[in-house]
Amino acid sequence: MSSNSNPIKIGIVGVGKIVRDQHLPALAKDENYRLAAAASRHGKVDGVPNFPTIEAMLDAVPELHAISLCMPPQFRYDAARTAIEAKKHVFLEKPPGATVSEVEDLKALAAENSVSLFASWHSRYAPAVEAARTFLGSTRIRSAAINWKEDVRRWHPNQEWIWQPGGFGVFDPGINALSIATYILPAMFISSAVLDFPENRAAPVAAQVTFRTSNGLPVTMDLDWLQTGPQSWDILADTDKGAMVLSGGGSKLIVDGHVVHDEPEAEYPMLYKRFAEIVRAGISDVDLAPLQHVADAFMLGKRNVVAAFFD
C-alpha cells in the first residue's frame, strides 16, 4: 500500500445516518480507498457485499486492509479489538470509545499488532481551525468561551442510544467543540461543571463547564441540546490582538471584526486523507484529550435534574 495505485481496501461497520451523509461520499471521492464491504445490523451499502456482523465480514473478505467503525461508542471497543487482532487498520468515528481506558487499551493493542489506529476528531479538520490555532499562537489570550448549542431533535431524531449510559448526551456534539479547543488553546483542566439531566434520560441535555488553562486563564463552556432557531457552534477568545470568533463549527474565523477565513467544510474527506497517511506511514493518531475532558466533566460535575425530555 505504498501508492494511490494500490488502494486501501476498506470495510465499514455500522451503516447509519453519519455513514450515508459523510463517510460514503468521502470514500467515493478518495482514490486512496476502495470500499470493499459493509457490516450492519440494519443498514446496507449498495454495490458491495453486506454482512450482519464484523466477524462475518472479516471471515468472508479477509483481504480487507482497514475497517471504519461507525456504530455507537458503547459498542465500538469489541469491534475494534476484533479488527485489530485480525491485523486491520482501524478508523474510529468520534467519540473513539465509551471510556478513556477502552481507547488506551486499543492504542496498546494496535501497537502490538503493528496496525494503525485513528481517533477521527472531524471538527479539528474544519477549514478555519488551523488558522485559528496559528492566530492564537501569535498573541496573548486573556480568556476564552465555548458556546455549542444545537437542537437534538433536528440532528439526532429518534436516536435513543445518545440518551443511554455511555451515549454522552449533549457531550456528543460538545466533544466536537472540545476537539477544537484542545487543539487551539493551551492545555486546560476542568474546575467545575453542572450537568442537566432530564428526569427521564440517563445522559445530560445541557452542561455548563468551567476550565482553567495551565497558565491560569479562564475558559467557559456552555452546551445546550435544545437550541431552537439558529444553531451556535462558536469558540471565542479575548486576546491582545482583538476578539477572535471561530464560528460555524470551525468554518469561519473573525478577528477584531474582520473575516480572516471562511470556506465550506470538507471535514470527512480530510479525515480519510489523514487516515490514508497514517496507514501508509505505519503510525497511529489517537489523541484522547477531548474524551478525557468529557470523563472529567462527568466525574466532577454536579448533577441537576430538569424536566423530562420528549422528541
Name the residues annotated as catalytic.
Answer: 94
- For cell 432557531, name the residue: 229
The type of residue at 67 is: I
The answer to whether the Cα torsion of 88, 94, 97, 99 is positive or negative is: positive
- Whether residue 232 contacts residue 239, with contact meaning beta carbons closer than 8 Å, is answered with no
List 239's β-bridge partners, or say none: 141, 242
- For cell 476528531, name the residue: 121
